[in-house]
Amino acid sequence: MTPFQFVSVSILATLFFRELLEFRKDAVVHRIHWLRGLIWLVAALAIAFPNGVQNVAEAVGIQRGADFVFYLFVLAFLVVTFYFYARHVRTQRQITQLVRGLALREARRGGSLQAEK
C-alpha cells in the first residue's frame, strides 16, 4: 500500500466510523448518515483497490476506471443540482403562499403592517 493509499484510507475509515456513530445517535436523518457512510466506504475501497474500479468500468463497457469515476461524478452532480433546484422552487412557492396569507389576514383586520410601526 502506497503512503497516499494508507493516509487516504485511514481518513476515509475515520469518516465512515464517525458516520456510524452519528447514525446510532440521530434517528431522524438515518438516510443521510447511511448515504455518506456508503460514499466514504466506496471511496476507501476504490483507493485501496484501484484495479477493482478498472474491472467494474470494463464490466459496464467503459475503457478506463478514471472515466468511470468521472461519469459517476457528472451524474451525481446532475442529480444533486436538480434536487436542490426543486427544493429552491418549492421553498419560493411556500414563501409566496405565506406572504399572501399574511397580506390577506392584514387586509381582513383593516390594518396594514406599516400602521403598526
pLDDT in tens, the chain (117 residues): 899 999 999 999 999 999 888 877 766 677 788 888 999 999 999 999 999 999 999 999 999 999 999 999 999 999 999 999 999 999 999 999 999 999 999 888 876 555 555
Q: Specify if 57 maps to a domain.
A: no
Range of the domain at 75: 65-117
User: Is there a single domain that holds both residue 69 and residue 37?
Assistant: no
Q: Specify if 94 maps to a domain.
A: yes
Cα–Cα distances in angstroms (integers) from residue 24 to residues 28, 32, 41, 63, 97, in the given order: 10, 12, 17, 40, 37
Of 90, 53, 52, 47, nearest in space to 71 by CA: 53
- Tally of CB atoms within 10 A around 37: 18
User: Is there a single domain that holds both residue 115 and residue 71?
Assistant: yes
Alpha-carbon gap, residue 106 to 109, rounded angstroms:
5
Q: Specify if 54 maps to a domain.
A: no
User: Is there a single domain that holds both residue 71 and residue 115?
Assistant: yes
User: Is there a single domain that holds both residue 6 and residue 39?
Assistant: yes
Domains of the chain: total: 2
- Three cell numbers written together for 90: 418549492
pTM confidence score: 0.70
The single-letter code of the amino acid at 48 is A
